[in-house]
Chain A
């Protein structure tokens, strides 16, 4: 059996298996470590998946279905779950993934508020995206972090964000070969910077892993998946779905644009939170880097990526705006969950961190 082990130099996967969150994720996690030959049971699982989709009151907050989707995408990413590599393109699993994705996308299209469409030209699209993403004057997670988060809450924030950030940029990179011309070049210009401009130690995911180690946290991918609520998985699953489906290339570009446009100012606030508690530049490097980098990326993403795509493939304009607002909506919910938990004096984690899970620095 070949295994989905990380190659040397990659962040390694945590050894512990994820805890299942219901029958679907339990069946998948039980099946994947075994060789593909043991794929009986997939037909039954597919029926259970259909039933779970029909029964869920809200797939966007469904722990079992979102963890299942996360595990299935993990077969494409690698270093997420211990699995026989041959499962990646198993038609039965692809069909199950497709069923969950259809329900997931339908829920997103229903719940993400529609945005008025600008004319399909670069400047108008950039302007509309900057307007949609403009900083709010109200309370926000990043302002809370800057002003009053405790050391423990900062650790929690880093844990919550690690589910995406240890794979930073990867979901959108699935979109690169699905674009052409100016939009592809723009995506590459941004992603090259995300991946450190050819310097592995400057890769944003690597800088983040370093931040985790400095805070005494486990930087192996997936180490804290058991701790995070469904909405944190939903956030990553959404961009994975946008990136992995060519049909949704408009959404992945809109998503990236909104992500970049809402990063620089919050990153400064996050950095301020760490500085307030006495942490140095080694710890704030990740946030400082994003203050500068994303002030560049947001300009490229607005005009050269989303704007060019809208000019070159105007039929994608609605999905560009949909992807952008989906990012703001879902990531907004994920942030609101953390903020509301803290304001109520609770942890935002699903399972509190056992002392042993905080390794010493």
Chain B
């Protein structure tokens, strides 16, 4: 049963566009490479790099903080 005003049921895929940072991915989402091979995922919540500078792509490694990456007012 859904509680009134409940925003997001748990495990529903949810992607948070973090200001000046990665895309935070929660829930049941399959991550695959271009060839369809699954990408190793060892945690429930992952951060996907969107600055392009990570050394562990597709995951974020915090490098966006060194490069001055900004997402701007539109996220």
Contacts and interface: CB of A to CB of B under 8 A. Distances in A.
B59 interface: yes
A193 B47 CA distance: 13
Given A135-B66, A299-B21, A300-B24, A292 B44 contact: no
Contacts of A298: 62
B66 A299 contact: no
A268 B19 contact: no
Contact of A265 (B19, B43, B63): B63
10 contacts: A135-B66, A197-B43, A197-B44, A265-B66, A291-B55, A294-B62, A295-B61, A296-B46, A299-B18, A300-B24
B5 to A, nearest CB: 13
- Please give me the 9 A-B residue pairs with the lowest Cβ-Cβ distance, nearest first: A264-B62, A295-B60, A296-B47, A295-B62, A265-B62, A291-B61, A299-B18, A295-B47, A299-B24
Interface in A184-201: 189, 192-193, 197
A296 B56 contact: no
B62 A123 contact: no
- Secondary structure call for the B interface: loop
Contacts, number: 62
Interface residues of B, number: 22
A202 interface: yes
Interface string A299-319: 110010000000000000000
A296 B62 contact: no
Interface of B: 16, 18-22, 24, 42-47, 55-56, 59-63, 65-66
Interface string A123-165: 1001100100011000000000000000000000000000000
Contacts of A202: 42
A268 B55 contact: yes
A303 B62 CA distance: 16
Nearest to A262: B62
A351 B55 CA distance: 38
Contact of B43 (A130, A296, A303): A296
Nearest to B59: A292
Given A123-B19, A134-B65, A265-B66, A292 B45 contact: no
A228 to B, nearest CB: 27
